[in-house]
């Protein structure tokens, strides 16, 4: 990649005459990498209008370059943008975020027929993420929403496919947020934990009680209502399990529910073994409680795909790219097998700007 990029020397041209160059992705998961050079500032110096225009031109140049690239086999063309000039080049992150969003919005508004399907802003630190999160979403004119509305109105059936982490993030429960974890779980910082994701697979708990996070027992009447609510929600097919239940790690009762809401440290009431949240995390996962829901789902799916005379719309909400094999790929497979009778709306779940977790 470095050699290929060196064949397009930015220094051979006047500053910012060449806006972006493209190389192969090589060992990266991306098929291509777009390189651009943003304005360089002195730390503490004020911004100039020229520097702002130069930074905006970088983002427009990247989008111009991506527009000329071929789409992926699924017809998508996705570009991930970093914070140009915000590192060693000392462009203030908050100002850079506003320039980046405005530049992308302006470019999209002027390219209504663009082949680019996704634009993602990638951040590496909380300091970079905060300015982008505080910005209002730009109003980009597109016929996508109107087309989606027409599909939903004319559909014979609508299948809602809701993600887990995507919906959690949409209400402020970001598994990668340092600030959220420090605010809600300050007692766990002493163990080196910094995010909700860092708890997954962590084995450094000093005691079972600390691991279980048991501080007090809820009121029995409130607890009974909670169990009733989770029982109702468990009737819907949940392919990856349910956080609402605990399960014996030895799976000692595969044909019985075997899931209890422990009032102390979680131990199995049948074999005395350890318990954990009931999610599809290994061979110990108890499939039995979820089989009825999976059978109903399989029957519904076969009926939808088999009836080519009716139109079904799959509405994805909060479905990300963390576990694509659970929802996203199966949904896309349904569309392919539907021979035109299936339509897919892939969207994100958004929360009001003033929402606080």
pLDDT of residue 262: 47
DSSP 69-126: SPPPTTS--EEEE--TTSSTT---HHHHHHHHHHHHHHHHHT-TT-S--EEEE--SSH
pLDDT tens for residues 268-316? 878 888 888 777 777 888 888 788 888 888 888 888 777 888 899 999 8
pLDDT tens for residues 56-78? 999 999 999 999 999 887 778 99
Pairing of strands 241-248, 275-279: antiparallel
- Angle (CA) 174-177-180 rounded to 5° is 85
In order of start, what are the domains of the chain with their CATH numbers? 2-142 (3.40.220.10)
Q: How confident is the model at residue 12 (pLDDT cuts 50, 70, 90)?
A: low
Query: What interhelical angle do 93-109 and 49-67 show, nearest 10?
Result: 50
pLDDT tens for residues 15-56? 556 578 899 999 888 899 999 988 988 888 888 999 999 999
> Which residue has better confidence, 37 or 237?
37
The pTM of the full predicted model, rounded to 2 decimals, is: 0.53
pLDDT tens for residues 184-205? 889 899 999 999 888 888 889 8
pLDDT of residue 33: 94
pLDDT of residue 284: 81
- CB proximity list for 163: less than 8 A, separation 6 or greater: 316, 317, 318, 319, 320, 327, 349
- Angle (CA) 89-90-93 rounded to 5° is 120
How buried is residue 193: exposed, middle or buried, by Cβ count under 10 Å (0-12/13-18/19+)? middle
Structure tokens at 102: 């405005």
pLDDT of residue 99: 93
pLDDT of residue 226: 34
pLDDT tens for residues 135-171? 866 666 667 778 888 999 999 988 888 776 666 666 6
Contact present, 347 and 317 (Cβ < 8 Å): yes
> Among candidates 108, 90, 106, 102, which has minimal Cα distance to 51?
90
pLDDT of residue 170: 60
Q: How confident is the model at residue 211 (pLDDT cuts 50, 70, 90)?
A: confident
């Amino acid at each position: 990649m470095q050699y290929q990029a060196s064949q397009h020397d930015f220094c051979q041209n006047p500053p910012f005459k060449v806006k972006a160059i493209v190389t192969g992705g090589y060992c990266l998961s991306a098929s291509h990498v777009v390189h651009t050079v943003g304005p360089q500032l002195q730390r503490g110096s004020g911004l100039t209008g020229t520097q702002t225009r130069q930074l905006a031109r970088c983002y427009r140049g990247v989008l111009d370059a991506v527009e000329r690239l071929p789409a992926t086999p699924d017809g998508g063309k996705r570009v991930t943008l970093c914070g140009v000039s915000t590192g060693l080049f000392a462009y203030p992150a908050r100002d850079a975020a506003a320039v980046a969003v405005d530049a992308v919005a302006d470019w999209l508004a002027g390219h209504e027929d663009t082949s680019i399907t996704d634009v993602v802003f990638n951040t590496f630190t909380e300091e970079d993420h905060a300015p982008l999160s505080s910005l209002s979403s730009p109003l980009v004119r597109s016929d996508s929403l109107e087309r989606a509305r027409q599909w939903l109105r004319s559909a014979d059936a609508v299948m809602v496919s809701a993600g887990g982490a995507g919906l959690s993030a949409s209400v402020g429960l970001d598994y990668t947020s340092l600030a959220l974890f420090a605010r809600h779980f300050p007692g766990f910082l002493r163990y080196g934990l910094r995010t909700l994701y860092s708890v997954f697979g962590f084995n450094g708990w000093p005691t079972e009680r600390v691991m279980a996070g048991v501080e007090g027992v809820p009121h029995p009447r409130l607890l009974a209502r909670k169990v009733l609510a989770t029982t109702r929600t468990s009737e819907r097919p949940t392919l990856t399990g349910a956080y609402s239940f605990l399960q014996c790690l030895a799976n000692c009762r595969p044909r019985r529910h075997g899931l209890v809401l422990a009032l102390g440290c979680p131990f199995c009431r049948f074999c005395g073994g350890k318990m954990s949240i009931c999610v599809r995390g290994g061979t110990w996962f108890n499939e039995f409680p979820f089989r009825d829901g999976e059978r109903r789902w399989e029957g519904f799916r076969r009926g939808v795909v088999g009836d080519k005379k009716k139109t079904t719309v799959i509405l994805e909400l909060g479905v990300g790219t963390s576990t694509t094999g659970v929802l996203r790929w199966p949904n896309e497979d349904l569309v392919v097998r539907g021979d035109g009778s299936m339509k897919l709306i892939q969207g994100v779940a958004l929360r009001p700007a003033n929402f606080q977790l």
